[in-house]
């Protein structure tokens, strides 16, 4: 891990993940490597000092487990937002499609039951709150400053840009903007998350703070939650 390594210490540091939770994470569908997930836990533990955490892109709840593990006191809340119909890359015929996520009654992807089961099995129903809907729709009605925004939704250019447009300005001063699957080299992966990271840097509102694998995070250093971010 590089960059912002001065994590909270002592009683405020995130706990070691219990074996039962590690096992649940291991059998939960998703695309979050353990080292990057552990970084999310530490980032959330810090971010809760400022405000709630919001994740864009729940899928089946693997990353929500890492985020929820950081909730230590009443009032620490992770909101996890997804329409649960699957992103472009999880549709039939694409590399990350999982036939088990298709609802046989409708023939459409529906990952919400998997998320609900994951949260319940972890005992996180009091700290991880699912929001079901389109990111842009929910963003138009959102008014709560965020301690951390974690962007890990659809990786198409238009979808990723809409996530940034709708949510980046709700990160509070001193809060964290984390972006997953940031690959500067196109040979390693799709470019929209990398372009979001560049856009955040170029906005002047965020300063690079650290990285772990393809997970990168920035800190809001100018403006307040709700102030425009270019």
What is the C-alpha separation between 138 and 131, in angstroms, rounded?
A: 9
- Token pair, residue 220, equals 């809001």
Cα–Cα dist 225/152, whole Å: 20
- In angstroms, the Cα distances linking 153 to 12, 31, 55 are 29, 12, 9
108-118 CB burial, b ≥16 within 10 A, e <16: ebbbbebbeeb
68/76 Cα distance (integer angstroms): 9
Distance separating alpha carbons of residues 182 and 168, to the nearest angstrom: 16
Active site positions, annotated = 155
Looking at residue 17, the DSSP 8-state letter turns out to be P
Q: What number of H helices and E strands is found in the chain? A: 7, 10
CB 221 within 8 A of CB 206: yes
Cα 101 to Cα 37, 62, 92, 113, 193: the distances in Å are: 22, 14, 10, 9, 24
């Amino acid at each position: 891990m590089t960059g912002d390594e001065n994590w909270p210490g002592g009683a405020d540091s995130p706990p070691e993940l219990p074996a039962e939770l590690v096992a649940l994470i291991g059998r939960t569908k998703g695309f979050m490597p353990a080292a990057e997930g552990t970084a999310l836990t530490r980032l959330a533990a810090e971010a809760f000092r400022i405000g709630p955490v919001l994740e864009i892109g729940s899928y089946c709840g693997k990353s929500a487990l890492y985020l929820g593990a950081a909730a230590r006191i009443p009032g620490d809340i992770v909101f996890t937002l997804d329409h649960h119909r699957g992103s472009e890359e999880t549709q039939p015929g694409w590399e990350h499609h999982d036939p088990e996520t298709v609802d046989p009654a409708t023939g459409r992807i529906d990952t919400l039951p998997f998320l609900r089961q994951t949260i319940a099995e972890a005992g996180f129903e009091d700290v991880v709150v699912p929001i079901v809907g389109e990111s842009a729709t929910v963003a138009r009605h959102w008014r709560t400053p965020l301690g951390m925004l974690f962007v890990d939704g659809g990786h198409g250019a238009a979808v990723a840009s809409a996530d940034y447009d709708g949510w980046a300005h709700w990160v509070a001063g001193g809060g964290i903007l984390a972006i997953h699957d940031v690959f500067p080299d196109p040979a390693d992966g799709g470019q929209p998350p990398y372009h979001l990271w560049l856009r955040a840097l170029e906005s002047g509102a965020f300063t690079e703070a650290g990285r772990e694998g393809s997970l990168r995070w920035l800190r809001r250093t100018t403006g307040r939650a709700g102030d425009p971010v270019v």
